Amino acid sequence: MPSKNRARQRVLQLPVQKAPIKTDTKNSHIKPRGKTYPLSSSKRVIYEKDYIFWCHECNVPLIEHHCCKCDQEGARMDLSQPADVRFCSQYEHEILVQLIQAAYGCDPIGKRIVLLNKIPGEDKTDEVIVDGVHIGILRFDLSILDYSFDVSADGAKILLKYTDKKTVLIKKKRSHLSGKKISFDQIEKYSDDIKKGDDVLVISGNLTGSGTSYLDSADFVSAKDAVLKVKKIDSKKVALNHRISCIEDAINANMKYIRLLGKNAMNSISGIANQKAYKNLPVHVSFSGGKDSLVVLDLACSALKNRPIKAFFINTGIEFPETVSFARDYCLQKNIDFVEEDAGNAFWDHIDKFGPPAKDFRWCCKVCKLSPANSIIKECTKSGHICLTIDGKRKYESFSRGRIAPSEMNPFIPNQLNVFPIRDWRALEVWMYIHWRKLDYNPLYNTGFERVGCYLCPAALSAEYQRMGEIHPEIYEKWNQYLLKWAHEHGLSDKFVNHGLWRWKELPPKMLKLADNFKIVITPSQVQEPFRIQLTSGISPCRAGGFTVEGIVEGVLVNDARDTMNIIGDTVFSDDLGMLLVKTDYGSVKMFSSGSILATAQTKYDAIRLFKDVTKQLMRINKCTKCGVCQKTCPVGAIAINSNESGGIRLRISESCIRCGKCTEVCVVVKYFDKLIPSLAIENRKN
């Protein structure tokens, strides 16, 4: 399969260079000042609470060892990490029951409480827990674009009490069977409904478990090789509980501990909000219309009864209609001051510049969230105060959020202090709190959405996109049509879109494998971009000493560049030569009206980083989205964003710039420099 990276390397021929340059602003000479966030780390977080308990007396899950209903101790159940276990939604419950009924002709689950525990997988993948037993895995299969259920050994033991479908009786053996391939002569009996690839229920003497069939049962008799593989089989006895409990029973069994969680979270909110610096200020809650922010909104209202609470809602313009209605109605009903900032059409206005967002290219967050959030915070901090914001982020949501601190300053929004009172809660605890407090919640959760962000979020799962198509066909159609058009323009097929491959700029191994299996081309063809940077003669020693990097830029005029290069160094412009000179402490850059750029410095490293810093700013000029985030961030008001003569955007950085680098750090265009000009990033990695 052609590699995307290899294809892009051919576009730009850069010389081999050993200088340790990086593209992020942290290694740029434009050093951002102030505290920065540990947004992510390559080390995977290990979650301590990767278990729950189960009270088999009351047949309910427990968040602590003790059951408040029967006063007995529950049995520990270990969960796969990150262990953000939750109640199964009505929709997921229906899917699960339908799959089991279709495969095995029975429904042992009925109205029992079902828990789902998210585990890593191709797409939506959850361990299924019923009556304290892992009965299997419910997953959305990207090859068939539908759900499937893989039964576990314990799930098979339960099913065998209800069915004789898809069953294989293996001759009793002395040796271990788990993980073994079974040939036809080892089989005593089998049902005639087995299809190739099915999960089968296996029995051998007093052992029971599950396996996978390699063939249709009609072909067993003529098989030369193995007909099935046993996944796991043992003599353990597993059965469903005679008692069927409901969510209310689960809440009662956990009451003391839900209250305690709520009390601790309220203490952490009031502890910070009542500090001298914030005592007389309104408290903001970042309210997205999702379950976690709903809980912190309720906690904040309970913890700070006599304080003004404002719920701010960033309407990205690409929200589900249910989310917008729910957020507005909830605050109206509860008499909470609701502040809505609307990004309007920002997403659609910018998509031609950036293309579809991706998990590793989330320009949409900056354009649709950060800019409106900045406006709210600016209003809140106009008298110089800190804007105290209660936020519902949780560690267990994903590995990337595993290291949330109790509170932190937002590095992208000046003067916003975020407090995370439920950062240690798991989804099960969030839902128990919601049910205990009888809070209304976003109806999307009942329809199969585990999270309720923007409807076209690249972080959403294919299962959720499919569901969106069922619930909101008109919205789905608009987005899908855009994706198909974009794919066709870039030489990609419908399958690239249908299998969700557009959601990554650089595909992870699991998606590369899927693309390989389905023979899907993943390398977009080169489209003539209005902005291009190319190195010409590369990096070379100067006669006068030092090194130069030469390149050519298309899409930015030297006249536009002269308005912004104060951010890099002192500028001199020669009308006669049509040349802009930018001087810094460690080198200089010349830019000519032809588009040629020459960066010179004493070391190779400095010459390269100077070239990159200049080209980042040039790209910023060309691709500026007019989001205004940089303007709001600049401590000295040095930035102006106007229209130029041809109706385009004119970015100007005045001489009052103190070169703090803050605007570069927050700019969406600069942040994704590597994604927008991937060939330069590849060369960086080589260096």
Helix spans in 121-207 (H): 153-159
Q: Which whole-number Å values give the CA distances from 86 to 66, 82, 430, 641, in the listed order?
A: 19, 12, 9, 47
> Which of ligand SF4, Zn ion, none binds 193 (CB below 5-8 Å, type-dependent)?
none
Q: Which whole-number Å values give the CA distances from 102 to 91, 93, 99, 161, 163, in the listed order?
A: 17, 14, 5, 17, 12
| Closest CB to Zn ion among residues 432, 610 | 432
What CA–CA distance (Å, rounded) separates 337 from 322?
Answer: 20
CB of 623 to ligand SF4, least distance (A): 7
Contact status: 255 vs Zn ion (CB under 5 A): no
> Which of Zn ion, ligand SF4, none binds 69 (CB below 5-8 Å, type-dependent)?
Zn ion
Structure tokens at 457: 């979020």
Contact status: 663 vs ligand SF4 (CB under 6 A): yes
| Closest CB to Zn ion among residues 219, 249 | 249
| Closest CB to ligand SF4 among residues 512, 666 | 666
- What is the phi/psi pair of residue 132, to 5°? 75, 20
Cis, bond preceding 82 (omega within 30 deg of 0)? yes
Computed from CA positions of residues 460, 463, 468, 471, in that sequence, does the dihedral angle turn out positive or negative?
Answer: negative
| Closest CB to ligand SF4 among residues 486, 673 | 673
Residues in binding contact with ligand SF4, number by CB under 6 A = 28
CB of 243 to Zn ion, least distance (A): 10
Beta-bridged to residue 190, according to DSSP, are 168
Segment interacting with ligand SF4 (CB under 6 A) among 92-100, 331-339, 522-530, 624-632: 624-632
Contact status: 492 vs Zn ion (CB under 5 A): no
**Interaction residues for ligand SF4, span 6-45 (CB under 6 A):** none
Work out the number of other CB atoms within 10 angstroms of the CB of residue 99.
Answer: 17
**Interaction residues for ligand SF4, span 379-398 (CB under 6 A):** none
Contact status: 365 vs ligand SF4 (CB under 6 A): no
CA–centroid distance for 179 within its chain: 35
Q: Are 367 and 627 contacting, i.e. CB atoms less than 8 angstroms apart?
A: yes
Residues in the chain: 687
Contact status: 658 vs ligand SF4 (CB under 6 A): yes
Contact status: 413 vs ligand SF4 (CB under 6 A): no
Structure tokens at 490: 């870039």
| Closest CB to ligand SF4 among residues 395, 662 | 662
**Interaction residues for Zn ion, span 52-91 (CB under 5 A):** 55, 57-58, 67, 69-70
Q: Which of 217, 323, 389, 625 binds ligand SF4 (CB under 6 A)?
A: 625
Contact status: 659 vs ligand SF4 (CB under 6 A): yes
Collect all residues with Cβ–Cβ distance below 8 Å to 616 and sequence separation of at least 6: 23, 28, 664, 670, 673
> Which of Zn ion, ligand SF4, none binds 497 (CB below 5-8 Å, type-dependent)?
none
CB of 69 to Zn ion, least distance (A): 4
What CA–CA distance (Å, rounded) separates 225 from 182?
Answer: 9
Structure tokens at 64: 């602590």
**Half-sphere CA count of 645, side-chain side, radius 13 A:** 3
> Which of ligand SF4, Zn ion, none binds 57 (CB below 5-8 Å, type-dependent)?
Zn ion
Residues in binding contact with Zn ion, number by CB under 5 A = 6
> Which of Zn ion, ligand SF4, none binds 651 (CB below 5-8 Å, type-dependent)?
ligand SF4
| Closest CB to Zn ion among residues 57, 216 | 57
3-class SS of residue 583: strand
Contact status: 640 vs ligand SF4 (CB under 6 A): no
Contact status: 555 vs ligand SF4 (CB under 6 A): no
Strands 125-130 and 133-141: antiparallel
Q: Which of 132, 289, 355, 661 binds ligand SF4 (CB under 6 A)?
A: 661
Q: Which of 620, 680, 682, 683 binds ligand SF4 (CB under 6 A)?
A: 620
Of 14, 83, 22, 24, the closest CA to residue 48 belongs to 83
> Which of Zn ion, ligand SF4, none binds 55 (CB below 5-8 Å, type-dependent)?
Zn ion
What CA–CA distance (Å, rounded) separates 565 from 324?
Answer: 42
Radius of gyration of the chain (CA): 29
CB of 112 to Zn ion, least distance (A): 16
| Closest CB to ligand SF4 among residues 386, 641 | 641
Structure tokens at 410: 């937002």
What CA–CA distance (Å, rounded) separates 80 from 47?
Answer: 10
3-class SS of residue 133: strand
Q: Which of 593, 636, 640, 642 binds ligand SF4 (CB under 6 A)?
A: 636
Binding site for ligand SF4 (CB under 6 A): 567, 620, 624-630, 633-634, 636, 638-639, 641, 651, 653, 657-663, 666-669
Binding site for Zn ion (CB under 5 A): 55, 57-58, 67, 69-70
